Amino acid sequence: MFQVFKKLDWFFKHYWKRYTFAIISLIMASAIGLIPPRLLGFAIDHIQFETLTAHLLTIIIVGYLVLIIVHYSISFLWDYTLFSGAVILERWTRTKLIDHFLRMTPTFYGKYKTGDLMARSTNDLKAIAQTAGFGVLTLVDSTTFMFMLIAMMGFTISWKLTLAALIPLPIMAIIMNKYGAAIHARFTEAQAAFGNLNNEVLESIRGIRVIRAFVQEKQDRNHFEAMTEDVYQKNIAVAKIDAMFEPTMKILVGLSYTIGLGYGTILVFQNVISLGDLVSFNVYLGMLIWPMFAVGELINVLQRGNASLDRVNETINYEADVQNPISPVAVSHVYSIDFHDVSFSYPGTKVNQLEHIQLQVKKGQTIGVVGKTGSGKTTLFKLLLRQYPGVKGKIMISDVDVENLTLEQIRSWIGYVPQDQIMFSKSVRENIQFGKSDATDEEIFRVMELAHFLTDIKQLPQGLDTKVGESGVTLSGGQKQRVALARAFIKDPEILILDDSLSAVDGKTESKIIEHLREERKNKTTFIAAHRLSAVTHADHIIVLEDGKIAEEGTHEELMKNNGWYKEQYEQQQLDDEEVIS
């Protein structure tokens, strides 16, 4: 259980000054808190023996007041330093976690679901932060403060009475230990169930249109209810143990009081201690309740913190399956891209999704990538983006194996526009500025013209400032694609990849965009994957993929002579277009 402090030692070492200060002031505050009960006993003894003068009473009362003020000030100091430490730890671990998320590849996101990751970044971080605040407080109070109290009772009043009143303590320690283990197990389960629930909510909200369209509301609701029930049951299981803490403590504390009062009275009658001593002793026993509680709370907080820290560390320690090279090669610009006999299968699949791909691209060329759905077009781009490990063969940029280039460098060259673009729930301007953070409105309008978005932006209620809603819900599919395109244009990348990014715009708009594209990207490399072959006819080279292999390749004219899938598909699409026009 105490391993959680060990696991967090990097944090405590970094903030050792803060924690030393907090702990020392906490101990000082506790020590000062020990004086008033003695003052009370002292006053009572003087009352009993009728030796209390007005002068003495004034001194006692003034002393009392001074102690209260000093105690208050020091308590403020430890409370502030200790609990702000917890907030710092929470911020620190959250930053670590988000940095980690940003470095992770699709394999990681395949393993962990979004809802679960959200649970880890919220609830679990809170539980960890508690260890650095409340955990440290209860640790100090249940050890140092308890010993100080016991020493005060033993040395200044009576060891016999103290030991007798403390008999229930070891029993309590044993029971608390048992509770602690149960809490750890149940809390871990409850947190995992919460993660699953989060995920369910996310999926239901994201998939609401499909759920409605397939009239699955009832099933979804039932399923959701079952999940909520699971979370409920698991949290109830935690609450049950939590609820047993306090009554158990109360019984044991009550027992201490009974012994203290009973045996204490006998000692007063035997003249071993004074009446003032007995009153002080009982006040001390009352003060002992908190450190005893603190033992329980300490176990509780540490077990939760430990369970959560394990969950968060499991995520943070997940090694990205694509790593930066140990000694990266610096390449100043992109003059070629080569795929040398590239084969690839996704982790966990047996068949190759790409086989023996051979492709040479020179700076300034436009490459068309076509083929049926599932033929491997996106996979080819993902490999260029280095999203997956385990590539057989070689992918080279400017004659350097991409494995020897840093991921940041590769990605800084590439502007990738996937079919399902990601829109952030910000304004259109901010969404486009993602490609270039300091882009001016003038530049934005220029790329919007290239992406054929100018007429649309005029229709949007607040123009560039229009908020697009979560995942761009207020925009149509075609509009989203064109905003994503503008975002890539403004980056003006060395390598632009349009991965079926024009699928939702009509043919006329598409041909206008392609025209702009040709003009704009004269000296830069562009990959275009498309279903509509009209989007690639102008390309310098076109590859046709079939089951991960290059089935045909050449220019549009060459492929048209081939009598293969390309020609057949092209002619079919021309016919379809004519039908639409007529």
Total of residues contacting ligand ADP (CB under 6 A) = 11
User: If you ran DSSP here, which 8-state letter would residue 420 be given?
Assistant: S
The one-letter code for the residue type at 283 is V
- Which residue among 349, 437, 459, 523 contacts ligand ADP (CB under 6 A)? 349
Q: Which is nearer to ligand ADP, 390 or 469 (CB)?
A: 390
In angstroms, what is the minimal distance from the CB of 547 to ligand ADP?
8
Is 459 one of the binding residues for ligand ADP (CB under 6 A)?
no
Q: How far is the CB of 577 from ligand ADP (least distance, A)?
A: 22
**Rounded to the nearest whole angstrom, what is the least distance from the CB of residue 331 to ligand ADP in the complex?**
26
Give the nearest distance from C-beta 114 to ligand ADP in angstroms. Answer: 16
Are 23 and 140 in contact by the 8 Å Cβ rule? The answer is yes
Task: Give the shortest CB-568-to-ligand ADP separation in angstroms.
Answer: 18
Distance CA 500, CA 160 (A): 85
From residue 445, alpha-carbon distances to 374, 490, 516, 574 in Å are 36, 10, 14, 33
- Residue nearer to ligand ADP on the CB measure, 33 or 376: 376
Joined together, the tokens standing for residue 309 give 């820290």
Rounded Cα distance between 68 and 66, Å, is 5
Number of other CB atoms surrounding residue 204 within 10 Å: 16
State the pairing for strand pair 541-546/549-554: antiparallel
Q: Which residue's entry shows tokens 């901010």?
A: 430
Residues 21-40 that bind ligand ADP (CB under 6 A): none
Shortest distance, position 91 Cβ to ligand ADP, whole Å: 34
Report if residue 346 touches ligand ADP, rule: CB under 6 A: yes
Residue 535's nearest CA partner among 445, 449, 453, 419 is 419
**Could you tell me the smallest distance in angstroms from the CB atom of residue 369 to ligand ADP?**
8
Nearer to ligand ADP, 131 or 481 (CB): 481
- For residue 327, state whether it binds ligand ADP (rule: CB under 6 A): no
Least separation in angstroms between residue 110's CB and ligand ADP is 7
44 vs 542, beta carbon nearer ligand ADP: 542
What x/- string results for residues 72 through 91 when contact with ligand ADP is judged by CB under 6 A? --------------------
| Residue 353 binds ligand ADP (CB under 6 A) | yes
Q: Which is nearer to ligand ADP, 71 or 377 (CB)?
A: 377
**What distance in Å separates the CA atoms of residue 238 and residue 135, rounded to the nearest whole number?**
19
Cα distances from 516 to residues 71, 449, 454, 557, in angstroms, run 74, 9, 14, 22
Identify the H or E element spanning 554: strand 549-554
Give the shortest CB-348-to-ligand ADP separation in angstroms: 7
The pairing of strands 366-371 and 541-546 is: parallel
Strand-pairing partners, residue 109, are none
For the chain, counts of helices (H) and of strands (E): 24, 10
CA distance 351 to 346: 8
SS3 389: coil
Burial of 207 by CB count in 10 Å (0-12 exposed, 13-18 middle, 19+ buried)?
A: middle
Distance in Å, CB of 196 to ligand ADP, minimum: 22
Collapsed DSSP state (helix, strand, coil) of residue 39? helix
In this complex, which beta carbon is closest to ligand ADP, that of residue 436 or of residue 531?
A: 531
What is the chain's length? 582
Stretch that binds ligand ADP, among 39-47, 249-257, 276-284, 346-354 (CB under 6 A): 346-354
| Residue (220 or 546) nearer to ligand ADP, CB | 546
Does residue 350 belong to the site contacting ligand ADP (CB under 6 A)?
Answer: no
**Closer CB to ligand ADP, 136 or 543, in the complex:** 543
Site for ligand ADP in 366-385 (CB under 6 A): 371, 373-379
Distance between CA atoms of 391 and 249, rounded to whole angstroms?
Answer: 61
Instruction: CB nearer to ligand ADP: give 254 or 374.
Output: 374
Contact residues toward ligand ADP (CB under 6 A) are: 346, 349, 353, 371, 373-379
